[in-house]
Structure 1
Amino acid sequence: MIHLLCANIPLLAQTGTAEIAFLSDIHLQDVYADLGSNAFKGVFNPKTGRFATIRTMKSQLNSTRLFNENYFAFISALEDLKKKEIQIVVLPGDFTDDGQPMNVLALKEILDQYATDSGMRFFLTTGNHDPVKPFGGIAGKSDFLGVDGSEQAIAGSTDFFTASSVAISDQINYWGYPEITKALGDYGFFPSQKDLFWSHPFEELDYENYTFERAQDSSQLEKRVYPVGNSGLFLPDASYVVEPIEGIWLLALDGNVYTHSGGESKESWKGSSVGFNQASIFKKHQLDWIKKVADEAEKLGKTLISFSHYPLVEFHDGASDAMKSLFGPRKFQLERVPSAETSKLYADAGMRLHFAGHMHINDTGLYENQPDNTMYNIQVPSLAAFPPAYKTVKIDHQTQFEIETTTLTEVDHMNEFFDLYRMEHRWLLENQIPDIWDSTILASKDYFEYTRNHLLELTELRFIPSDWPENLVVLLKALNNNELNQWSKMTEKDGNLFLEDKLKELKTSSSSKTKSHKIIEDFYLLKNGDEIGKRLIPQERITFYEQLLSSVSRKTYAQDANLNSDLVQFFRIFEMLFESLPSDHFRIDLKKNTIERID
């Protein structure tokens, strides 16, 4: 495999091969930050002799992302890329945890180091956790780990929290677009002399007459703004297109959307995490620009790869509508799923291969309106959740792409804070705090297992209570394989009576409390990890699912909600996740319009 050795060598033109890495949803938090606060320096870590500025394990296990260990996972991923000599690295948003100064500057320090020592080029786009508010604002977090194991609140103002024990630090405030793009300006947000071409949505594409000086002058953020409705207000759009090596155009789309409540302060803005369903309405200028970029790339023979924080194609293997029917339209973050109408808009504009983050899942999505109007959406997993992984794309000539997913297993310093978490756990026990987290997660042997255990605990503490119908959970936990096979062969009427009788039996006994959670666990392994998660399911359960799903696929169910229809719908959803497009190691050929799994 040939790797990029210098960012401005026209490698694609010389060899037909180039390689780019995508690291998404890092959610970097500086775990040893200087808060500049007299009230709280952090919690002393005897293992390192330093003061750790970390969030509690309780907070981590109720969040869809880790806050602490992902710092080390990011370093581990960069070290891996360094060994592979991959030098073009894309970060599709949520590169920090809420865009605070301490986190943005920590990221800059890391990127600067690898850029200097290893020659890496980094290209970033914004996520909903980077500029939480477009122009910043006062912020705070109440869940930092305190010196005795309790929670410590930190805020930028005494007015932010009512508790008297708040530590005041401006390092926890939100930074906005001006501060974030300035600090990280070397990493795509502004042109570099190392690039062959760079442009943004608010200037004409002029490849033939491109000069760095002209691009630099036009790139000032105040020149890259769009109107917010008829309010007379303007917001920055940090989108750009760049040619870091000859023949490859990277299209970075800023999909953030903000609404304004009418006040004059920075706090009057509110961010949205919905993505392109809203960006297609409130940022229509982007669609016009995308079409110009795509047309120009085709005319010039450039390979165009787009990336954004937000997905452009449905990412549940076609199961989203069925999930809305069973669980509800606002469960499972289903409001973030791009509609078919949204996908069509961007496919019509010329998008073909898009890399996205945001959802913390591994997935490949396909939108196909007609043979010559196909768009692939590659969901890059988060380094802060299961499965912890990054993706690389090896570009073979102009239309052929080999995409590979690399999971993080061994991460140096992964257990650096485990003794501090044990202190937290003791404090929770001593103070008789309810719903204490399961300390067995601290026995995780590596980072991959740690994130899987995080997902299992998160499922029990948050996902099941918030997203699932109670009766469905009871049945899935209690029914054994023989009972499910028996039910799958019943008529609709008999199946519903069988399930009703079983539910009554379970609710009048304690048996349901001791049953397995395996089906729900496997559901999340498939939903979040796709092929990576499927490999973790034992072969005997894979065989059982294959037989059961084949039987369930022949069952009918009433439109009226009942136990039988709920269970049939669940296994129809399960089957769509079970039989997915390749997402681990695969090849896409845009000319032939094919996607093939690589074993």
Structure 2
Amino acid sequence: MQLVCANSHLLAQSPAREIAFLSDIHLQDVYADLHSEDFKGVNNPRTGKFATIRTMKSQLNSTRLFNENYFAFIAALEDLKKKGIQLVVLPGDFTDDGQPMNVLALQKILDQYAKEAGMRFFLTTGNHDPVKPFGGVAGKSDFLGVDGSAQTIAGSVELYNSPSAAISDQVNYWGYSEITQALAAHGFFPSEKDIFWAHPFQELNYDNYNFDQAQASSKLENRVFPAGDSGLFIPDASYVVEPVDGIWLLALDGNVYTHSGNKTDGNWKGSSVGFNQAAIHKKHQLDWIKKVSDEAEKRGKTLISFSHYPLVEFHDGASDEMKSLFGSRKFQLERVPSTQTSELYAKAGIKIHFAGHMHINDTGLFQDQTTNTMYNIQVPSLAAFPPAYKTLKTTNPSQFEIETISLTEVDHMNEFFDLYRMEHRWLLEKQDPGIWDSTILASKDYLEYTRNHLLELTKSRFIPSDWPENLVSLLTAMSNDELIAWSKMTAEEGTLFLDEILKSFDLTNKESASIIDDFYLLKNGDEIGKKLIPEERINFYEELLETISQKSESNETSLNTQLLQFFGIFNKLFHSLPSDHFSIDLKNNTIKKIQD
């Protein structure tokens, strides 16, 4: 693989097809009709409407927003409308847990933009839609109540032991049948507008394609496979579609569910691991992918794969080091595709794959021992930092230009801020230990809002749950000069030096270090996050990392070794493949950063 830079667009000389990828929207209807006598929402004086939103406390303890992302989704669609981009892919988690109120809200929005802007939407399922293959009773205990407290809403009185719970069937889980039928016009089933459409359980018969036959075959009961040895069958919503001449979109349903008991008891367990599990439980997909990729190559089609789940390691090659330092169950590392998994899907013929799930911006590359190469493009979430979507332009099956569009200005972003202030006052009065930092409400735009969300999440959740305490203390206590001095010491000198620093440091200090904050900017935002790090810190990191790269790690378990491991990880995140605006040439096997 060759990495080079380009000063002009690779595809500027010829007309290109353009596709947008909007992932992990986690849409929740913020003004839903709950059809409930117990609770109709919180009156929002700004709009005169009743808001059905989650608490800010809940948002700041989650890796995603629940409320403002509704407006971010609309902003992204408006941006696409202005740009005239009409092919739009949603790689899963398009709703927040697949409840009727959220699926129907998404349906309304997609139908509107399809009608008014001529957009075509192509969806695949994520682990939040559906949560269980056949649905079930569900609820949430963190909606915002009328006085600022948390309001429980459930589909059944038995679900929560709470006399104040509101009952609404709009928060139950929908399964594959209900979700795909509601969104039938958006990829899950064939459309007369498509040139070709097929699913894994039918023959690929391109020359004799017939829409009526495809439609009859596409019924969900024809698209099922056995769930282990349970004797039960569950749907696979995968499909391949040719919406415009020459472009094949391969939608892979990577959801995996296991079951114990009988089907009627609803005892299904979902997996968010992705293709490490799908490669085992959905082996039929691999055979089908090979057939699709062979057919696409034979016919000169541009094959673009997408799924909710990544197919390549997404920490710039640092995942093994992260497991060693932090532990294999931290940082969602169990979701990292293994080398064996990547090899299976690359061998099946996937060369360029768009994924979500991780809420990060990243480009990953896998090459096996033969000629197989696969690029994994991580699409950020619209509900987290960095809030962005990606576009792909292509003129032929081997050349692609990919651009990441950040959402900075989002209309109505502060629509619920007065309601959050009411919540904050309630928490203050109750002396609730979960009270949050209200300075987030001073965010000037959506990009800053999501960054502040990440900063708060880092301090309150990530550091306490994922990080060794002494490592946090060192990164908090050490000055830049001390880090540079340490980087030039021997292992023995470094260990003694770090021990002395810890002795004089107040371990009760819970403030996060700027280095840790920068680490998350890089891990989650890649090039987008790097642009937000001040230039003087960038220069400091370049000097520090250059010195550390000349040091060798010791096998000893010590603070010195931990710090070396951390900066080894940091170095890989700091020097990553292009992820903001770049081109990929599969024929010449090059990836080029495009200088805007």
- Flag the 1:344–1:498 CA change in 2: closer, same or farther, 3 A: same
Question: Contact 1:131 / 1:180 at 8 angstroms: preserved in 2?
Answer: yes
1:222 matched to 2:221: yes
Alignment of 1:318-337 (within 5 A): 318-337=317-336
Quote the residue 2:514 is aligned against. 518
Which residue does 1:9 correspond to in 2?
Answer: none
SS at match of 1:215: helix
Partner SS state of residue 265, structure 1:
helix
Instruction: Spell out the pairing of 1:180-259 with structure 2 (5 A cutoff).
Output: 180-259=179-258
Q: Which residue of 2 aligns with 1:598?
A: 594
In structure 2, how many angstroms separate the alpha carbons of the residues matched to 1:230 and 1:131? 22
Instruction: Please point out which of 522, 537, 542 is paired with 1:541.
Output: 537
Name the residue aligned to 2:568: 572
Partner SS, residue 561 of structure 1: coil
CA distance in 2, matches of 1:431, 1:201: 55
Provide Cα deviations, 1:163-208, integer angstroms capped at 9, x if missing partner: 1110000000000000000000000000000000000000010000
Shift of 1:356: 0.1
Amino acid at match of 1:529: G
| Number of the residue aligned with 1:359 | 358
Q: Report the Cα distance in structure 1 between the residues aligned to 2:263 and 2:347, rounded to whole angstroms.
A: 38
Which residue identity does 1:534 align to in structure 2? K
Residues in 2 aligned to 1:559 and 1:58: alpha-carbon distance in whole angstroms: 42
The one-letter amino acid paired with 1:548 is L
Partner Cα distance (1:121, 1:25) in 2: 18
SS of residue matched to 1:506: coil
Runs of 4+ in structure 1 off by over 3 angstroms are none
Query: Is the CA contact (8 Å cut-off) linking 1:16 and 1:397 kept in structure 2?
Result: no
Which stretches in structure 2 are left out of the alignment for 5+ residues?
A: 1-10
Instruction: Give, in whole Å, the separation in 1 of the partners of 2:451 and 2:263.
Output: 45
Shift of 1:371: 6.2
Offset of residue 372 of structure 1: 2.4
Partners of 2:159 and 2:292 lie apart in 1 by 44
Matches within 5 A, 1:60-75: 60-75=59-74
How many residues are aligned here?
Answer: 584
Letter in 2 for 1:535: K
| 1:582 aligned residue | 578
Counterparts in 2 of 1:289 and 1:101: CA distance versus 1, 3 Å = same
Equivalent residues in 2 for 1:94-105, closer than 5 Å: 94-105=93-104
- Identity across aligned pairs (percent)? 76
Q: Secondary structure at the match of 2:130?
A: coil
Q: d(CA) in 2 for partners of 1:426 and 1:191?
A: 51
In 1, distance between residues paired with 2:578 and 2:447? 21
Report the 3-state secondary structure (helix = DSSP H, G, I; strand = E; otherwise coil) of the residue aligned with 1:214. helix
Deviation at 1:347, TM superposition (A): 0.1
> Which residue of structure 1 aligns with residue 340 of structure 2?
341
Aligned partner of 2:27 in structure 1 is 28
Mapping of residues 183-582 of structure 1, within 5 Å: 183-370=182-369, 372-507=371-506, 512=509, 517-582=513-578
> 2:370 & 2:446 partners in 1: Cα distance?
42
Aligned counterparts of 2:393 and 2:534: Cα–Cα separation in 1 = 31
Question: 1:517 deviation in Å?
Answer: 1.6
Structure 1 unaligned blocks of 5 or more:
1-11
**Structure 1 counterpart of 2:456, one-letter code:** E
Q: Hey, what's the Cα distance between the residues in 2 that align with 1:379 and 1:231?
A: 34
Structure 2 CA distance for aligned equivalents of residues 532 and 17 of structure 1:
25
Deviation of the 1:556 alpha carbon? 2.5
Q: Go from structure 1 to structure 2 and tell me whether the alpha carbon gap of 1:513 and 1:461 turns closer, same or farther (over 3 Å shift).
A: closer
Residue 86 of structure 2 aligns with which residue? 87
Structure 1 residue 552, shift from structure 2 partner:
1.0
Q: TM-score, normalised by structure 1?
A: 0.96
Distance in 1, matches of 2:575 and 2:206, equals 44
Deviations 1:484-515 (A, max 9, x none): 0111111101101111111111148x7x567x
Q: Secondary structure at the match of 2:29?
A: coil
CA-CA distance at 1:562 after TM superposition: 1.1
Question: What letter corresponds to residue 277 of structure 2 in structure 1?
Answer: Q
Match of 1:7 in 2: none
Residues 57 and 434 in structure 2, CA contact (< 8 A), matched pair in contact too: no
1:377-436 Cα deviation digits (max 9, x unpaired)? 000000000000000000122210000000001100000000000000000000001141
After superposition, give the CA deviation of every residue in 1:101-149 in whole Å (9 maximum; x if it has no partner): 0000000000000000010000000000000000000000000000000
Q: What amino acid maps onto 2:486 in structure 1? A: W
Q: Which residue of 2 aligns with 1:173?
A: 172
- Shifted more, 552-561 versus 583-592: the winner is 552-561
Mapped partners of 1:211, 1:113: distance in 2: 28
Q: Distance in 1 between matches of 2:510 and 2:182?
A: 52
Task: Quote the Cα distance in structure 2 between the aligned partners of 1:594 and 1:525.
Answer: 26
Higher mean displacement: 457-466 or 260-269: 260-269
Distance in structure 1 (CA, Å) of the matches to 2:202 and 2:266: 30
Quick check: 2:228–2:258 contact (8 Å CA) kept in 1? no
1:561 shift after superposition: 1.9
Q: Partners of 2:286 and 2:299 in 1: how far apart?
A: 20
TM-score by length of 2: 0.97
Secondary structure at the counterpart of residue 85 of structure 2: coil
CA shift, 1:16, in A, is: 5.0
Correspondence for 2:6: none
One-letter amino acid of the structure 2 residue matched with residue 115 of structure 1: A
- Give the structure 2 partner of residue 5 of structure 1: none
Is the CA contact (8 Å cut-off) linking 1:261 and 1:268 kept in structure 2? yes
CA distance in 2, matches of 1:42, 1:517: 39
Give the whole-Å Cα distance in 2 for the aligned partners of 1:598 and 1:21: 18
Output the amino acid matched with 2:331: F
Q: Which amino acid aligns with 2:425?
A: R
Moved more, 588-597 or 222-231: 222-231
Q: Which has the higher contact order (CA 8 A, sep 6+)?
A: 2
